[in-house]
Structure 1
Amino acid sequence: MQTIISQEKATRINLFDLESLQMRTFHLSWIAFFLCFFGWFAHAPLMNSTIGPDMDLTKAQKITAFIASVGVTIFARLIIGSLCDKIGPRKSYTYLLVFGALVVAGSSFAYNWETYLISRMAIGVIGASFVITQYHTTKMFAPNVVGIANATTAGWGNLGGGVTQAMMPLIASGMLALGFAESELSKWRPAMFVPALIMLGVAFLYWKYTKDTPKGNFDEAPEEKPQTEKGESGLFMSAVKDRRVWILFAIYGACFGLELFVNGRAATYYQTKFELNETTAGMIAALFGLMNLFARSMGGWLGDRFSKTGGLSGRVKWLVMVLFAEGFALMLFSRMDMLGLAIITMIIFSLFVQMAEGATFSVVPFINTKSLGAVAGIVGAGGNVGAVMYAQFLLRSGATLENSFLYFGMAVVAISLLGLGIKFSDADEAAAVEEQKKLEDIKKQLLSKQKLAA
């Protein structure tokens, strides 16, 4: 079926359509995000077995490297949004993929703690790919499907954090078997070139087969390029002053922040607690990220469903419920001493984590429509801040990873209750209803025109 166009933006998602610019961008944006996430966490499953011993890293240095890689992303996400506005998402993603390929491959040349730390900080920049993915799909899809488009590209991209847990140990072992590594401990070094080369290939595809907007690139359609207006800083400050933004900031730290933290520590957890080898532990840890295949999209979709009967407040109630369940599931996971039960509860926890992420960004667009970019940027950065805080706690508290999961679960339950403080005015509720009504009228008109044209 042909994609229906609304102001040259796609109003439906046809996953098997590779001809339209909108759907090419949809697929390339999640693939690019997937690879960036894969490269971002490529070191995690190899840290205990090869990288740590090869570099003679202490436990504190391993955690510090994770903190540095995730912490840098906080600032990178703020910068990359402005870069998209200036040069467009097509160039921004192409440049970021090339940069990512260079730093991921370059990490293999680290020869001491200092150079390794610098390489991990550089790799952290590619975590900003989330912003470009959301920016580009927003440019390509109409409001009636932009939520599910954003949630799906983000969720499928996040899969990279799970797949890398399973694939990097296999890739590293393959490098050793093929003679590209001199020893068991150094096999991680040539393995880093594999995601780097794929990133270069996708950078070429992104440059060739996408454009900044349905009307073309910014230099071809300058009217599509965001213009700096007087009072822009005032709009940003209006987002900063809105307490609901900071509640969502904390909430995203409690879901996406935990996803980042668990992606970085899950393989280690199974290796140490259940004495598994790196390949087996990596395969199990990968299950955590694989829930992104559908869970984040489900969270956003259910937010939409709750809004049909409960309005904007319904979206908030769903967010509070799913985040509360996430915290409880994490506490349950932390108490599991049998491998089978640990895997089952981890999967349940993962399901709620990623649904909470989708639910969060089903609320974000309605907080401050005039400062949407600022709101999204602040909330998105909250995830990375949360991950850094969890890692800092693990580093400085002396608590075991098992007990840290218990404490983090308690914190998530408490943060979920903060969501009850997100309120919308009657005017906000009415505006959302009116916008939805207009969208439904537009869809009916487009369908009618398409039938007449046929």
Structure 2
Amino acid sequence: MDSVQSLKAKKLNLLNFKSVPIRTFWITSISFFMCFFAWFGIVPFMPDVVKDLGLTPDQKWNSIILAVSGTVFARLLIGKLCDKYGPRICYTWLLILGAIPVILCGLVQTPIQFLVCRLFIGFIGASFVITQVHTSLMFAPNIVGTANATSAGWGNLGGGANRLGMPLIAAAVVAFGVADAEAWRYSMVIAGIVCLLMGIVYYFFTQDTPEGNFKDLKASGVAIEKKKDEVGFLAVLKDYRIWILFIVYAASFGIELTVYGTMDDYLQNTFQLERLTAGNIVLSFALMNIFARTLGGFFGDRFGKLKGLRGRVLFLSFILTLQGVMLVTFSLATSLVVGFIFLISFSLSVQMAEGATFSVVPFINKKAIGSVSGIVGAGGNVGAFLAALLLKSKSALAEKTAILENQGMDEEVLKAAQSAASSMAVSQGYMVIGFVVILTGIVALAIKFSPADEKENMPTEHIDDSRLGTLQPIKVKN
């Protein structure tokens, strides 16, 4: 949106709270964090939920799949709505309406009710798209990759922080006299209420662009985009680059989501770890979002400065290929030390790949940032859905075979056989996924930009922009 270009922040000065872009950055990052916190909030309590509601193994797996499935449709829709109504209104309603199934999840009494809530809770995963749209509207091309990656990484952190946060909330609830078996219910209700409150904060303390809200700008006669430059959704769908990025994000964020849901059991079955130890390792994986995704956006911006838009694509291809190599190697590890090293390496590379993806997205079609972000973001959940289906099918078949082969054995032997079979099946699944990621990294090289796009996004140098809106960019040579 060229009309607001001069007011976009050129630096990610996190302490400049008077700056509209920086204030928006903080609020959208915190909102995103809370959405992910609530989205995966039930994960630490799954043993309690299984026992309380009597979930079967299939229902447990289905709850994981449903939680990422609903997000696909929500992300596709929310991107287009952001282009039309602005990110402020979209985020406000998403937070308020998304709080409802989170709260209801704490009130369910049957497995069907739980599965329905998990499906609709997944809708708040669309918060990622709004976050990326809002930071793209607030930050200039020279820093937008870093801003997008940082806000997304800190938001994704909520998906791991709940492993500490939700049990702490449960402990506080128990301290007030609530029974241990009911603590998970109160924790979900509290998480939902916080999301609702964040919706109110978002409405009153953010605006769509540095110049103002979409509605006010249109009412005052300021054109956000010229009519002749408007891009229809069907036209956006025809851009092949969007679909490559859709697959790229499926191979990065989609795999991260799948790992969140399966790695605890895999570490226990493969390396005979205690549940608490395995959970802490997965938590360390999630905590890397504090810096890893930012690094992906940072290097995307750096390569963009050195080699233009093509440089961003080259870095994306490299880090995605590296991610695949790390996952394949991890799947072959039989030593805990070796496995941990390559798990952390995989964690670093997958999160950097996510940041690198959205250092490219804002440059695909500046007149339809919301639609592009929505489609690419939906790819992440499609990837998670397909990966979960693969692992579920392989693991379920292996466990059933192990049970049949060990009929008549005592419970300990049967349990050990199931664990070994599940470990082998998931290991094979990780390897298959890793090779698919490597192939995707190569395919990413097919993303091209026109000479006009490259020229328009030449590296620029700016002087201090503490007084937003008073400075002009200065073109510099590489």
Same fold (TM over 0.5): yes
Structure 2 equivalent of residue 386 of structure 1: 383
Structure 2 equivalent of residue 95 of structure 1: 93
Structure 2 equivalent of residue 40 of structure 1: 39
Aligned-residue offset at 1:192: 1.1
Structure 2 equivalent of residue 9 of structure 1: 8
Structure 1 equivalent of residue 193 of structure 2: 197
2:212 aligned with 1:187, yes or no?
A: no
Aligned-residue offset at 1:427: 4.1
| Residues 316, 20 of structure 1: alpha-carbon distance in 2 compared, 3 angstrom cutoff | closer
2:122 maps to amino acid: G
Equivalent residue in structure 2 for 1:171, among 155, 169, 173: 169
Work out the CA distance in 2 between the residues paired with 1:214 and 1:102.
31
Structure 2 equivalent of residue 138 of structure 1: 136
For 1:33, what is the secondary structure of its paired residue? helix
Contact in 2 for aligned 1:261/1:387 (Cα 8 Å): yes
TM-score normalised to the size of structure 2?
Answer: 0.83
Q: Quick check: 241-250 or 148-157, which moved more?
A: 241-250
Structure 1 equivalent of residue 21 of structure 2: 22
Work out the CA distance in 2 between the residues paired with 1:156 and 1:355.
13
RMSD: 2.9
Identity %: 47
2:448 aligned with 1:423, yes or no?
A: yes
| Residues 214, 243 of structure 1: alpha-carbon distance in 2 compared, 3 angstrom cutoff | closer
Q: Quick check: 209-218 or 345-354, which moved more?
A: 209-218
| Residues 426, 11 of structure 1: alpha-carbon distance in 2 compared, 3 angstrom cutoff | closer
Structure 2 equivalent of residue 216 of structure 1: 212
Instruction: Map residues 303-318 of structure 1 onto 2, 5 A cutoff.
Output: 303-318=300-315
Q: Cα deviation per residue 1:312-350 (whole Å; 9 max; x = unaligned)?
A: 332222111111110111122223334443333222111
Contact in 1 for aligned 2:264/2:275 (Cα 8 Å): yes
Work out the CA distance in 2 between the residues paired with 1:311 and 1:281.
42
Work out the CA distance in 2 between the residues paired with 1:84 and 1:365.
14
Structure 1 equivalent of residue 426 of structure 2: 401
Work out the CA distance in 1 between the residues paired with 2:331 and 2:157.
23
Equivalent residue in structure 2 for 1:440, among 456, 461, 478: 461
Work out the CA distance in 2 between the residues paired with 1:423 and 1:230.
25
Structure 2 equivalent of residue 238 of structure 1: 235
Work out the CA distance in 2 between the residues paired with 1:428 and 1:19.
33
Aligned-residue offset at 1:263: 1.8
1:402 maps to amino acid: S
Work out the CA distance in 1 between the residues paired with 2:328 and 2:222.
48
Q: Quick check: 367-376 or 284-293, which moved more?
A: 367-376
Aligned-residue offset at 1:276: 4.4
| Residues 431, 216 of structure 1: alpha-carbon distance in 2 compared, 3 angstrom cutoff | closer
| Residues 8, 430 of structure 1: alpha-carbon distance in 2 compared, 3 angstrom cutoff | closer
Structure 2 equivalent of residue 413 of structure 1: 438
For 1:18, what is the secondary structure of its paired residue? coil
Contact in 2 for aligned 1:164/1:286 (Cα 8 Å): no
Instruction: Map residues 45-444 of structure 1 onto 2, 5 A cutoff.
Output: 45-47=44-46, 49-183=47-181, 186-222=182-218, 223=221, 229=227, 235-397=232-394, 398=397, 400-433=425-458, 436=459, 439-440=460-461
Work out the CA distance in 2 between the residues paired with 1:82 and 1:142.
22
Work out the CA distance in 2 between the residues paired with 1:100 and 1:286.
25
Contact in 2 for aligned 1:316/1:420 (Cα 8 Å): yes
For 1:7, what is the secondary structure of its paired residue? helix
Aligned-residue offset at 1:390: 0.5
Work out the CA distance in 1 between the residues paired with 2:222 and 2:94.
22
Q: Cα deviation per residue 1:387-432 (whole Å; 9 max; x = unaligned)?
A: 1100111223336323221221121112211123223344443343
Q: Quick check: 295-304 or 332-341, which moved more?
A: 332-341
Work out the CA distance in 1 between the residues paired with 2:201 and 2:82.
18
| Residues 332, 317 of structure 1: alpha-carbon distance in 2 compared, 3 angstrom cutoff | same
Work out the CA distance in 2 between the residues paired with 1:256 and 1:156.
14
Contact in 2 for aligned 1:255/1:357 (Cα 8 Å): yes
Work out the CA distance in 1 between the residues paired with 2:22 and 2:137.
12
Q: Cα deviation per residue 1:92-141 (whole Å; 9 max; x = unaligned)?
A: 22222222322212101111121111100110110000111122222322
Work out the CA distance in 2 between the residues paired with 1:367 and 1:221.
25
Work out the CA distance in 2 between the residues paired with 1:158 and 1:252.
14
2:375 maps to amino acid: I
1:204 maps to amino acid: I
Structure 1 equivalent of residue 411 of structure 2: none
Contact in 2 for aligned 1:306/1:314 (Cα 8 Å): yes
